[in-house]
Structure 1
Amino acid sequence: MIIEPFRFMTWLRLHGVDLLTVVLMAGIALGVNYAPPVPTRMFPIYNAEGSIVYPELAHSRREQIIPIWASALIGLFVPIFFFALFQIRRRSWDDFLTTTMGLLRSLLTSAVLQVIIKCLIGGLRPHFLAVCQPDITNKVGAGFRNIMFDSSVCTGNQEHIKDALKSMPSGHTTTAWAGLLYLALYFNAQLKVVSGHNPAYWKMILFFAPLLGAVLMSMVLVKDSHHHWYDIVVGGIIGSATALVAFRQTFAAIFDYRFNHLLLPRATSLFHRRPYLPVLGRGAYYTYQPINAIMPQDLPFAREGGWGYGVGEHASGAPGDATVLASSAVQHGISGAHRVAGGLSSNAVHLV
């Protein structure tokens, strides 16, 4: 197999649009995060008998156990550390940079989603009443028995009040799951934690370590009274969804152990129109397009990745993603498929 040497400028041109999108998404996340919340939420303070309606909103305001900046650094740099560490054996700049790009996709997409929801929908933090310091003297409420008010009755620190209106969803939790679930999937793919053999026990422990970290980073927000449990659940769903999609965009499978360590190729981009094929005999994409799928209604809207060019794959029974193995098996036999997948040769046995 002839492999062209890695060229950073080529990689940069192939991923240039993604890099510009990363900068754009980061700007959107920061801009929306510092924007004031939409002040439309009504809330009760006292009921007709004079008692607090929602004691769960009356917690005292405390400093966060894990600041948001620390959560962001953990979600970003802990995975990057292991991506770099695994290059001891992977030995590929393309692998390191493209895997990191997938992580950035996950983190920034989840960040933009959660800050938009925070700003437009939001919610009252457990310490809302403590920072609001409501004064309803000479104020007439709305709703049944006039017990509903908005943030105009608050007399506390305005910055704290704005923050206390943005409880839903949890940004810490979103970041934790977007970064650390992506890392757990990477561990599973590279170490073959769940695969066709019985692996060493430490691999299972390493797989669950980032998931434990994500759970702890999430649940500590209930302990320091900055979020409700449902804020954490929604944040976890957002972060997990972006991690799964970003990983699958980067690698040929999520759970199929035969393919989930294979980077999906990037052959063209706005800044690199000529197809880039660094491995002789390996195509620019993996596609399931049937050979007879030529009508517009047979094809997706996208024409990227080989769709619509009339060169379908004969996927002879590959139930997983990435039909490169099946097509190689047809052309070269099973040993050829093993070579494409980077599988073991007859004289190479890895014990780790």
Structure 2
Amino acid sequence: MSQLKASISRYFEDSFEWFDRSYIADWLIVGILWFLTTAVKASPVYERGFDINDPTISYPQREDQVSAFFNNMTALFVPSIVVSVIGFMQRSLMVIHHGAIGICATRGLTELTTEMLKHSVGRLRPDFLSRCAWDKVLGQCTGHLSLIINGRKSFPSGHSSTAFSGMVFLSLTIAGQTAAWCFSIPKTPRKVRSSRMLTFFLALLPLFWATHVAVTRLQDHRHHKEDVIVGSFIGIVCAVLCYLIFWPNPFSLASFHYEVFGKPRWIYKETGYVSTRATDFDLEGVAH
């Protein structure tokens, strides 16, 4: 066991010296967010009345272009895998930890906010009447109960909030490692990775997927446009907040180590762009 620990310590530069007891409280809070989300999902949905002649809820029911399972897995695991790869390349368990807790916090906060609104508002989906299968004789819905209940969860769009929460966090992570959104930072000449358009495009790439997911919710008649807009906004806000809790601002020059003609200017670590929780490094030790 001691040999394994020594081997890990040799590979990872910071080993476990970075770990702070406050992270236990952080993980506890993240766990509470996920638990509360599960509890809200089990609670009843507000049942608002409807008009069977309402054209806004009379669209046909279609199959999802992007399934909920695939969307959730993509939003959670793709950013986690990318951060893990970055951490191994930098030989930093701290980067892996901060990435993991950051994305888990993002997903937990996003899901809790989305589900609370869904169950409180009870807005009907555009395809609600197809789910309802209204019977004029009985004067009630005769469709499958689970479909009817789900048909009352239009606002906000869970697919949109999920996709944007995961992909915005991933975009911020990429920007935090490449300085893609810090336009004032000097770039080392004669290196491909110094291409501003390349890093900028890489940082934006995840947002194209999130936008695609949001658009499919309109095409599939699962949501009204307001549902998608608000859901996307929730995902973006939660991702930005949870990212900035553990990582410095990717738009700020002070967040990066860079070189100009081989001469270091701002130094937080010896090599590469480094983004890490602001309280984990000494700003007074920055060299100019």
Query: TM-score, normalization: structure 2?
Result: 0.79
The residue aligned with 2:50 is: 43
Matched, 1:53 2:61: no
Structure-1 residue corresponding to 2:277: 264
The one-letter code sitting in structure 2 at the alignment partner of 1:197 is: P
Segments of 5+ residues of structure 2 without an aligned counterpart are: 1-11, 188-193, 257-273
For residue 7 of structure 1, what is the amino acid of its counterpart? F
- 1:136–1:246 distance in 2 versus 1, CA, 3 Å: same
Q: Who is 2:149 aligned against?
A: 162
Structure having the higher Rg: 1
- Matched with 2:259 is none
Q: How big is each residue's C-alpha offset from its partner over 1:283-337, in whole Å with a ceiling of 9 and x where there is no partner?
A: xxxxxxxxxxxxxxxxxxxxxxxxxxxxxxxxxxxxxxxxx2xx44xxxxxxx52
Pair 1:62–1:4, CA change in 2 (3 A)? closer
Q: Which residue pairs with 2:287 in the alignment?
A: 337
Deviation, 1:159, is 0.8
Give the number of aligned pairs: 251
Residue 251 (str. 1) matches residue 238 (str. 2): no
The answer to whether the Cα contact below 8 Å between 2:57 and 2:127 also exists between their aligned partners in 1 is: yes
Task: Letter of the 2:50 partner, please give it.
Answer: F
**Counterpart code for 1:42:** G
- Give the Cα–Cα distance (whole angstroms) in 2 for the partners of residues 116 and 246 of structure 1: 19
Report deviation, 1:216.
0.7
Which of these residues, 6, 9, 25, is aligned with residue 15 of structure 2?
Answer: 6
Matched residue type, 1:43: F
Give me the whole-angstrom Cα distance separating, in 1, the residues matched to 2:61 and 2:38. 24
Structure 2 residue aligned with 1:28: 36
Partner of 2:165: 178
Deviation at 1:138, TM superposition (A): 7.6
Instruction: Tell me, yes or no, if the aligned pair for 2:181 and 2:250 is still in contact at 8 Å.
Output: no
- CA gap of 1:7–1:43, structure 2 versus 1, over 3 A, is same
- State the one-letter code of the partner of 1:264: R
How high is the TM-score relative to the length of structure 1? 0.66
Structure 2 Cα separation of the partners of residues 5 and 60 of structure 1 = 56
Alignment root-mean-square deviation, CA: 2.4
Shift of 1:88: 4.7
Q: Does the alignment pair 1:219 with 2:219? A: no
Q: 2:249 aligns to what SS in structure 1?
A: coil
SS of equivalent residue, structure 1 residue 38 = coil
C-alpha separation in 2, matches of 1:80 and 1:5? 20
- Contact kept, 8 Å, 1:189 with 1:257, in 2: the verdict is no
What are the superposed Cα offsets for residues 92-114 of structure 1, whole Å, 9 maximum, x if unpaired? 10111112211111111010000
CA distance in 2, matches of 1:138, 1:86: 60
> Alpha-carbon deviation of 1:34?
3.4
Evaluate the alpha carbon distance shift between residue 265 and residue 58 of structure 1 in structure 2; reply closer, same or farther with a 3 A threshold: same
The alignment-based identity, stated in percent, is 24
1:121-146 CA distance string (max 9 Å, x none): 1211111001112234486xxxxxxx
Within 5 A, what are the aligned runs for 1:222-233? 222-233=218-229
The reply on whether 1:188 has 2:175 as its aligned counterpart is: yes
Partner of 2:127: 127
Cα deviation, residue 220, structure 1:
1.0
Query: What are the superposed Cα offsets for residues 7-31 of structure 1, whole Å, 9 maximum, x if unpaired?
Result: 28x7374311222222222122122
Structure 1 residue 174 displacement after superposition: 0.6
Listed one character per residue, the Cα deviations across residues 58-96 of structure 1 (whole Å, up to 9, x for unaligned) are 122222121212111100111112112223542210111
CA distance in 1 between counterparts of 2:44 and 2:67 reads 20
1:247/1:254 contact within 8 Å kept: no
Judge which range, 102-111 or 58-67, deviates more: 58-67
Tell me which amino acid in the other structure corresponds to 1:25.
L
CA contact (8 A) 2:75 2:167 kept: yes
2:84 and 2:99 in contact (8 A); partners too: no
CA distance in 1, matches of 2:46, 2:138: 25
Q: Is the 8 A contact 1:181 1:240 kept in 2?
A: yes
Distance in 2 of aligned mates of 1:185 and 1:241: 12
* Counterpart-to-counterpart distance in 2, 1:88 and 1:120: 43
